[in-house]
Amino acid sequence: MRWTPRIRPPGRGRRATRLAPAAAARSTSTATAGPEGLRKAARRLPPETGRRPDFAGQSFAGSASPQPSGAAAGLATRLLHQDDRLLILDKPAGLPVHAGPRGGPSLEDWLPALALGKRRIPQPAHRLDTDTAGCLVLGRTKPALAELGALFASGQVAKTYWAVVRGAPNAGAPDAADGVVAAPLLKRSTAKEGWRMVVDPAGQPASTAWRVLGAADGLTWLELHPRTGRTHQVRVHCAHLGCPILGDPRYGGGEGRLHLLARGIALPLDPPVAATAPPPPHMRAALAACGWRDAT
């Protein structure tokens, strides 16, 4: 079944709340909405909950989150790209794109504030797991959302992920530096463990190219390029290679924060659009141990 973006008409989306300013600098092209529009968005605050997105730290913690200090600064520092057709947002790890059956905060709460002068509320053009940080594309108009949906559905969008994994890829050769894992994925559910994706010949075809960027004792830093867009594809394929992602208990990576970043995205539009997201704070220590250096 092909996933279709959810479109909410203006005025029917979830209410906006305030965003705290992010500490990390971005290389971004942004424009700000008029002050009156941002003031209106900031006034539409939902009731406080026990968990609140930490936009300064790119996490989704509760009591550790700083107090919101206004929508404008938070929005400006999270936008990796903005034009009349689309936005590319650096989504914080731990923030779901859509509200789940149990409720709670989600990106939907902030979509009205992301209109930034447009009458239509922007909508996600693709999926990004709750615990994955990084590039999320939002369509700002109905034609743009349809075009973006077609590009994602046809596999024309180039996606780059970074992951820190436990161990090293078991690719059939010692010290293999790159490769492609082609393993079909099937959704499986049990009453005890709930649902998960598994490698199964009866599943949908799925392919991911990977290469090693660095390593440390017991950890490997991988760059991954999913060629298909299956649910949990990168996570399951890393586990299938014998190196589950650090902080991914569902697929064998142990407890903690998920060390997975939607690092970059390239859209074959006219003109082409591309963006790169910085590593979230919780990934930086493991990345640095594997050889990453912060260029900023």
Tabulate helix, strand, coil % of the chain (nearest 5).
20, 30, 55
- Give the contacts of 277 (CB within 8 A, at least 6 positions apart): 80, 90, 133, 134, 135, 261, 262, 263, 264
- What percentage of the chain carries pLDDT values higher than 70? 73
Phi and psi at residue 54, to the nearest 5°: -95, 90
Phi and psi at residue 128, to the nearest 5°: -150, 125
Task: Clarify whether 131 is annotated catalytic.
Answer: no
Q: What is the mean pLDDT of the chain?
A: 80
pTM: 0.76
Q: Which among 99, 136, 138 has a CA at the least distance from the CA of 15? A: 99
Domains and CATH numbers, the chain: 35-153 (3.30.70), 158-289 (3.30.2350.10)
Please give the chain's pLDDT, 296 residues, in tens: 445 444 444 444 443 333 333 333 343 333 334 334 433 433 333 333 333 444 544 444 432 333 333 444 465 578 999 999 999 999 999 999 988 887 788 898 888 889 988 999 999 999 999 999 999 999 999 999 999 999 999 999 999 999 999 999 986 566 789 999 999 999 998 877 788 999 999 999 999 999 999 999 999 999 999 999 999 999 999 999 999 999 999 999 999 999 999 999 999 999 999 999 999 999 999 999 999 998 76
Q: Round to whole Å and give the CA distance between 275 and 284.
A: 19
Which candidate in 83, 90, 109, 129 is catalytic? 129
Q: Round to whole Å and give the CA distance between 55 and 196.
A: 29
Bridge partners for 90 per DSSP: 135
Give pLDDT tens digits for 103-159.
Answer: 788 898 888 889 988 999 999 999 999 999 999 999 999 999 999 999 999 999 999
Q: Which among 24, 57, 90 has a CA at the least distance from the CA of 277? A: 90
